[in-house]
Structure 1
Amino acid sequence: MKKNNLKIIVVSSKGGVGKSTISMQLIAPFLYEFNGNSPVAFYEFDDENSDCLSYGDSKLTNRKIVEVSSPILREDLAEMFLKEETACFDIGGNKTTTMVLNAFNESGMIHFVDLVVIPLLDGEQDGINAIVIYSVLKDMRPDLKFIFVLNRAKNHRYVEYQFDNFFGDVRGIFENNNSVRNCLLGDDENYIAMLDDDIIKYSRRFGLTIYEIAHQNKDFISLLKLNMKEMSKEQEIKLTSFKNYIKKTSDTYYDDVLKLGFNKLKFILERDHDNQAV
């Protein structure tokens, strides 16, 4: 992997699959660690929504909203890739996807992308759109590296049953020749299961990522004990108790989900590194 110049794009033509959640909760902290625990660039391409602003207190990224309808989008992309920086590119869905990917292709910057992340849910249309994006980008650049994020997975154990539009029908009941995995070129291990959990919602309300909450060094139990001595502080007790819950849940999510995701991202990026142009 290239030092200080890693570029990852998160893209899906389907709206509502969690591109911004995956970008901020998984990719941003991974790049932050890769960058020596220093903030990384974060570009959001979406003229309709600015989801990254929900993480207003996050220190992992330096965020910028990119105007998709800009007549010089190709030039803007080239300027971004000229910077010696580690960066995440969060590309909006629908028409935005087509416009931005065309700009990547026409500018030639697609050849300097290190990894494409495609989020999807468990619905049939999600699988179809994932195949379309994968095929379009493979046509642009055959050696491009991919990883799929199975978003809102219920648990690791049954992920193949929940995401049968990705894996194919593992029960052998239905004929499913259009699963995403059947369309991939010799790669069965390029997915991450992002488990669904309320901590994703609550961390966003605090304006932070799960990663940042998990890495906070705060003793809420001692504060809770102190407040409990003064029973009149009912609101403070409730808030401190809730913050303790958020911290414990974030710790667990980091250990059980994010660390596994980081390891898989590193594996995909480093695999065949010596034999591929980066």
Structure 2
Amino acid sequence: MIAEKLKIAVISSKGGVGKSTISMQLILPYIFEKNGNQIVSHYEFDDENNDSSSYGASSLSKRKQVSVASPLLREELAEIFAKDESLCLDIGANKTTMTLIEALSESGMIHFLDLVVIPMLDGEQDAVNASFIYSVLKGNNPDLKFVFALNRVKSVEYVKHQFENYFGDVRGIFKNINAVVDNLFEEDKDNYLLMLDDEIIKYSRRFGLTIYEMSQQDRDFIGALKNSLSQASKEEEIKLLSFKNYISKSTQSYYKDVLSAAFRKMDEILEGENNE
């Protein structure tokens, strides 16, 4: 059963795997949609970076930076979880990761998380780190639900070739490849979702919005483009309208083909199903 007020954490001990991208582009829209389009509280635990600021125009969440160095971190976590709100915890890498996991465990709040999302790229070290974080969290709460977010996927068709460090050596060439699945409990090996690499992610950040929000805009860019052409408008205006139409179509396609599929996968996991 999916909780009424979802509490989801995005965690990885490795930097540069797209934690903030996954948080802003996938997890916040998912929680927003599942909780009746209510604004989500987004807590970024990172004393060095504030990546969510790239989405300053987004209205899906209210954002707050939380200091990991605070001596009252356990108490602050308890206060956060005690609020009657849906939330996303965006947890920084390196030492921050272990500090937060320890604080979540010591405060007992690790038992109030509905889902942990572990982003990873296709490198070997990404797989090793993802496996390690999974094992640590699972050791602190065996009932915790997980999903691995395979980020910057080049092709759905060849995802198992790109992410062979997760799926294993599908080519049959490297017999001793260290796949993450070798270290996972059987019930979680199929808990993964895909985030395709697409330039629309870059453009959405430039607009300060999520792809989800941009896909929901109901704008007739084609009609405006035809009108501009009929009026022999300036070249710059025509190009701008054409670009806006591209943005509109691209965000709608990404929502339909990528985000919606990821939403369904998280539904399955939260409802207790483990079907690929």
Asked if the contact 2:2–2:270 (Cα under 8 Å) also holds between the matched residues in 1, the reply is: no
Cα RMSD for the two superposed structures: 1.4
SS at match of 1:79: helix
Determine the C-alpha separation between the residues in 2 that align with 1:98 and 1:231. Answer: 60
Shift, 1:264, TM fit: 0.2
1:230 to 1:220, Cα distance in 2 relative to 1, 3 A: same
Look up the equivalent residue of 1:216 and give its one-letter code.
Q
- The equivalent of 2:92 in structure 1 is 92
**Which sits farther off after the overlay, 74-83 or 62-71?**
62-71
Q: Which runs of 5+ in 1 are unaligned?
A: 274-278
Determine the C-alpha separation between the residues in 2 that align with 1:228 and 1:45. Answer: 49
Q: TM (normalized to structure 2)?
A: 0.95
- The equivalent of 1:114 in structure 2 is 114
Asked if the contact 1:4–1:85 (Cα under 8 Å) also holds between the matched residues in 2, the reply is: no
1:141-152 maps to which residues of 2 (within 5 A)?
141-152=141-152
- The equivalent of 1:265 in structure 2 is 266
- The equivalent of 1:20 in structure 2 is 20
Asked if the contact 2:2–2:271 (Cα under 8 Å) also holds between the matched residues in 1, the reply is: no
Deviations 1:191-224 (A, max 9, x none): 0011000001101110111111111111111111
Deviations 1:238-278 (A, max 9, x none): 211111101111111111110100000010011069xxxxx
- The equivalent of 1:188 in structure 2 is 189
- The equivalent of 1:37 in structure 2 is 37
Determine the C-alpha separation between the residues in 1 that align with 2:177 and 2:243. Answer: 47
**Which sits farther off after the overlay, 169-178 or 104-113?**
169-178
SS at match of 2:38: coil
Determine the C-alpha separation between the residues in 2 that align with 1:32 and 1:53. Answer: 19
SS at match of 2:93: coil
Look up the equivalent residue of 1:259 and give its one-letter code.
S
Instruction: Number of aligned residue pairs: give it.
Output: 273
SS at match of 2:48: coil
- The equivalent of 1:202 in structure 2 is 203
Determine the C-alpha separation between the residues in 2 that align with 1:80 and 1:234. Answer: 51
Asked if the contact 1:27–1:88 (Cα under 8 Å) also holds between the matched residues in 2, the reply is: yes
Runs of 4+ off more than 4 Å: none
Shift, 1:128, TM fit: 0.5
Determine the C-alpha separation between the residues in 2 that align with 1:267 and 1:88. Answer: 19
Asked if the contact 2:46–2:91 (Cα under 8 Å) also holds between the matched residues in 1, the reply is: yes
SS at match of 2:110: helix
Asked if the contact 1:28–1:88 (Cα under 8 Å) also holds between the matched residues in 2, the reply is: yes
Determine the C-alpha separation between the residues in 2 that align with 1:171 and 1:177. Answer: 11
**Which sits farther off after the overlay, 28-37 or 228-237?**
228-237
Shift, 1:232, TM fit: 4.5
Shift, 1:46, TM fit: 0.8
- The equivalent of 2:169 in structure 1 is 169
Shift, 1:230, TM fit: 3.8
Look up the equivalent residue of 2:203 and give its one-letter code.
Y
Determine the C-alpha separation between the residues in 1 that align with 2:6 and 2:256. Answer: 24
Look up the equivalent residue of 1:93 and give its one-letter code.
A
Deviations 1:149-188 (A, max 9, x none): 1100011111001000001101221123521111111133
Asked if the contact 2:3–2:114 (Cα under 8 Å) also holds between the matched residues in 1, the reply is: no
1:150-165 maps to which residues of 2 (within 5 A)?
150-165=150-165
Look up the equivalent residue of 2:65 and give its one-letter code.
I
SS at match of 2:228: helix
Q: Which runs of 5+ in 2 are unaligned?
A: none
Look up the equivalent residue of 2:220 and give its one-letter code.
D
- The equivalent of 2:101 in structure 1 is 101
Deviations 1:86-130 (A, max 9, x none): 111000111111111111111111011111100000001000100
Identity of aligned residues (%): 62
